[in-house]
Amino acid sequence: MRKLALPVFIVFCCLYVPAQSELELKRYFEGKYVRVRIDMPATKDGVDIYPERELQVDYSKYAQRIRNHGVAIQKGESVLVTKVKVNKRNIEFQLGGGGYGVLGDDSGYVSPQPVYKSDRERRLERELKQETDPERRRQLQRELDYLREDREREERYYREQARIETERRRQEIRYRALQAGSRFNIWFEKAVPPQVLTPAALMRLLGRFVEFDELEEDEFEADDEDWPPQPQ
């Protein structure tokens, strides 16, 4: 039993430490205000940071998100930290709601109302297959064509209504997205290193992009000065 208990204890500790580190980050940052040094895209994709790379930010991708979604938080604006989340390969530093597009947010798309074949149209199709008299077939075909054209007109009408409603909703979504905040996503090549899971280390990782007006890094022991590492 002792041989079995030791590995279980080690696994428990490995799981417990990151959880405790995330809790420490949450307690320190969430509910406090910071000031951003760059415009923040109005989307949950936010700004991706890669501290282990020489080019920590892909500014072409950043610019594309600004063009596509607009600016939710302007440079120099003070904003509330609403969530800090540690995942396997990244840390989410969410501001003012974390950005539009999370699970549950409306995409804006409206499906057209379907228009089905009438009973009469289906009967005509069956009769036309069975009818052999040429004149009668022409009569059935004319009526069937009329019903099909009528149905297609109705389908076009509902498609256009759905297009108009989709555009209206997306206009509303664009406005709501500007009010929904943004986030920084800090990515690592393999996994989040334990040494970055302290408030002081996270502040240094974000220092180029965020001013921590209310927070003081000096109160922490500098036991993680190796982060971020120098790019190779």
Q: And the tokens for 72?
A: 């939710």
Average pLDDT over residues 152-177: 85
What pLDDT score does 214 carry?
67
**What DSSP element (H or E) covers 7?**
helix 2-29
Note the pTM of the prediction, 2 decimals: 0.65
What pLDDT score does 66 carry?
94
What pLDDT score does 211 carry?
94
Contact 215, 28 (CB under 8 A): yes
What pLDDT score does 21 carry?
87
Task: Let me know the angle formed at the C-alpha of 212 by 207 and 213, rounded to the nearest 5 degrees.
Answer: 140
Q: How far apart are CA 126 and CA 50, in angstroms?
A: 64
Q: In what order do the strands lie in the sheet with 90-95?
A: 47-49, 182-187, 90-95, 78-86, 33-36, 210-211
**Tens digit of pLDDT for each residue in 170-222?**
777 777 777 889 999 999 999 999 999 999 999 999 999 999 976 654 444 44
Q: How far apart are CA 190 and CA 210, in angstroms?
A: 25
pLDDT over 90 (residue 3)? no
Average pLDDT over residues 29-40: 95
The answer, yes or no, to whether the previous bond of 231 is cis (omega within 30 of 0) is no
Contact 99, 44 (CB under 8 A): yes
Domain ranges of the chain: 2-105+180-219, 119-173
Q: Is 177 helix (H, G, I), strand (E, B) or coil?
A: helix
Instruction: Name the average pLDDT for the chain.
Output: 83
Cα-Cα-Cα-Cα torsion 147, 148, 150, 153, nearest 10 degrees, comes to 170
Residue whose entry in the numeric block shows the structure tokens 């969430």: 30
**Tens digit of pLDDT for each residue in 49-91?**
999 999 999 999 999 999 988 999 999 999 999 999 999 999 9
> CB-based contacts of 107: which residues, under 8 Å, 6+ apart?
173
Contact 231, 53 (CB under 8 A): yes
**Tens digit of pLDDT for each residue in 112-148?**
899 999 999 999 899 889 988 889 999 989 999 999 9
Residue whose entry in the numeric block shows the structure tokens 């943004």: 182
